[in-house]
Amino acid sequence: MRTEDFIKALDADARSKALPLGTAWWLAAGAAIVIAAAVFWLTIGPRPDIAIAMHTMRFLSKFVFTIALAASAFVLVRGLSTPGASTGRAVSWMVAAPLLVIVAVILELFAVPASDWGTRLVGTNMVICLTLIPLIGIGPLAVFLAVLRHGAPTRPVLAGAAAGLLAGGLAATFYAAHCFDDSPLFVGTWYTIAAAILAVLGALGGRLFVRW
Amino acid sequence: MSGKDEAELSRLLRAAIAGDERAYADFLHRIAALVRGFARRKIVQGGVDPEDVVQETLLAIHVKRHTWRHDAPVLPWVYAIARFKLIDAFRRRGRRIEIEIDEIAETFAEPESETVSERDVNRALDSLPPAQRSVVSAVSVEGRSIGETAAKFGISETAVRVSLHRGLAAIAKRFRAGRE
């Protein structure tokens, strides 16, 4: 078929509509929050002393880290799903969450005697953390991968990994409301591993499902 | 590649997305010429037909036009898609290629050559269900309008539009599957 003729077919289909990608991302973010909240409430729910915990810096700092991760990953994944969009600035924002964690870890090392570092690092919820963050995040990740399919990522594996980090940041935000281990030593270790698990799953999903 | 081109293409694509078929035809012809120049420049060794890359890129632009942000420049978006499809075409044929994005600036529009060869799109078309295939052929190869196609097959215009849209989506899917 000549390209001239092929264009006629595309042109005749000009009136077909699809959801603009920008809108799709916001709808997906809403749906993902609902899914994560539902899984969170059905499984673990918030810790009973949350009202008291809210007055402590360590508890609140967890949300700063997780929301920073989710927000920066959201900007990045949106850029990566659009062909030709510049993502340089979004990539550099991805260091924000790790940087905040590193600063908090250093402060914690000064605030707490060395003999307590081990206990704080291991905490009491390590297994739950590594199970629940991926469990809360897997539904949102599926939603984000569906949006990536709707979009046109020229680097699907990287886009999938960013979607995984977004799901990880979102899931960790909910999980943080449950967990008693508020030390940055715990958060920096186990939350990071949990988010990395979702990033790997996302990269895999990007490789396998995101074709266009 | 002047700013004037960019502004004009952006105007045409906005109109096209709003449903203006004349603007869309104009847009697609201009993009086809640019992508052809790009593909011919990049494909130096044999094995990949530049015109196949042009057609795959046009189809990808069509089915993904909702990913263009109305305030973003058109050309980087177009070339990112063209580059993706070009790499894809090489990969499918077991070749590796590195394409430098900077060279895009040297690309010039080129007309389609007259030779009619077997195209990937024909193979994809042959694999469609008969109803979709005949509608896509009627609109493209035979150059019929939606109304004429509806009259030819004795179906409604809506049915023609649905078959055409599904047929194009199936061809796009078929191109993806061929990548394995």
Is the pLDDT reported for residue B154 higher than 90? yes
Is the pLDDT reported for residue B91 higher than 90? no
A13:B76 CB<8 A: no
Q: Kindly state whether residue A4 falls inside one of the protein's structural domains.
A: no
Residues 132-161 of A with CB under 8 A from B: 150-152, 154
Q: Kindly state whether residue A163 falls inside one of the protein's structural domains.
A: yes
Those residues with Cβ within 8 angstroms of residue A99's Cβ, 6 or more apart along the chain or in another chain: none
Spell out which residues of chain A touch residue B167, defining contact as CB-CB under 8 Å. 9
- The predicted-structure confidence for B120-143, as pLDDT tens digits, reads as follows 888 899 999 999 999 999 999 999
How would residue B101 be classed by pLDDT, with cut points 50, 70 and 90?
low
User: In Å, how far are A105, A141, B136 from A31, measured between CA atoms?
Assistant: 33, 11, 36
Those residues with Cβ within 8 angstroms of residue B89's Cβ, 6 or more apart along the chain or in another chain: B48, B52, B53, B56
Residue of A10, A11, A212 lying closest to B176 (CB–CB): A212
Contact B119, B178 (CB under 8 A): no
A6:B66 CB<8 A: no
pTM over the 0.80 mark: yes
Is the pLDDT reported for residue B86 higher than 60? yes
Q: What does the pLDDT read at residue B36?
A: 95
Work out how many CB contacts closer than 8 A connect A with B: 125
Q: What percent of chain A shows pLDDT beyond 70? A: 100
B4-15 burial, b if ≥16 CB within 10 A, otherwise e?
A: eeeeebbebbeb
Range of the domain at A154: 18-209
Amino acid at A16: S
Q: What does the pLDDT read at residue B104?
A: 54
Lowest mean pLDDT, pick from A66-70, B111-115, B134-138: B111-115
CATH 1.10.10.10 fits B117-180, yes or no: yes
* Residue of higher predicted confidence among A125 and A22: A22
Residue of A9, A14, A211 lying closest to B140 (CB–CB): A9
Is the pLDDT reported for residue A78 higher than 70? yes
- The predicted-structure confidence for A118-142, as pLDDT tens digits, reads as follows 999 999 889 999 999 999 999 999 9
Is the pLDDT reported for residue B98 higher than 60? no
Q: Kindly state whether residue A12 falls inside one of the protein's structural domains.
A: no
Domains of chain B, by residue range, sit at 1-109, 117-180
Is the pLDDT reported for residue B110 higher than 70? yes
Residues 74-93 of B with CB under 8 A from A: 76-81, 83-84
Interface with chain A: mutation pick from B140, B142, B158, B173, highest number of A CBs within 10 Å = B140
Q: What percent of chain B shows pLDDT beyond 70? A: 87
Q: For domain B1-109, which architecture applies?
A: Orthogonal Bundle (1.10)
Match 């980087």 to its residue by tokens.
B76
Query: Does A114 contact chain B (CB < 8 Å)?
Result: no
Q: What does the pLDDT read at residue B61?
A: 97
Helix extents (H) in chain B: 3-17, 21-42, 50-63, 74-92, 120-126, 130-139, 146-153, 157-177
Q: How many domains does chain A have?
A: 1
Is the pLDDT reported for residue B180 higher than 50? no
The alpha carbon of residue A81 is apart from the nearest alpha carbon of chain B, in Å, by 8
